Amino acid sequence: MKVRILAASSLFALLWMAAPPAIAVCGFHYLTGRPCPLCGLTRALFALAKGHGGEALRLHPLAPLGFAMLFALFWDHPLRGRLWMAGIAAFAVYGLWRAIG
C-alpha cells in the first residue's frame, strides 16, 4: 500500500512540476490530418495536476476521466476495472465523434 501511495504521489509531483513536451507527436494526426481520441490529453493531464481545470477541458474534454483512470492504476479496488471499462468506452465514442465530425 505504501509503495502505491509513493508511486501515485511521485507521478502527481512529476505532472505538477514538469512541463509537457514542447512538440506534439501523434502518428494518427500526422497520417490523417485528423485529431486522434487522445490528442491533447498529455498536455491536459499536466494542466489538471497544476490545477488548471479550464485549460485541461479546453485541451481535451475527457481529461478529468483520463486523470482518474491514470491514478486508479494505483488503487486496488474492484471499481477500478469498471472505471477503466467505462473510460475506454467513453474515449472510443469520443474518438469516433472526433474523427468523423
Global pTM reads: 0.83
According to the model, what pLDDT value does residue 89 have?
96
State the cell numbers at 64: 478529468
Q: Is residue 93 scored above 90 in pLDDT?
A: yes
Q: Cβ(67)–Cβ(13) under 8 Å?
A: no
The one-letter amino acid code at 3 reads V
* Residue 33, SS3 per DSSP: coil
- Per-residue pLDDT tens over the stretch 25-79: 788 878 888 777 788 898 899 999 999 999 999 999 999 999 999 999 998 888 9
65 φψ region: left (φ > 0), alpha (ψ -120 to 50), beta (else): alpha
State the cell numbers at 32: 490523417
- What are residue 40's phi and psi, to 5 degrees? 90, -10
96: confidence class by pLDDT, cuts 50, 70, 90: confident
Domain boundaries, the chain: 2-100
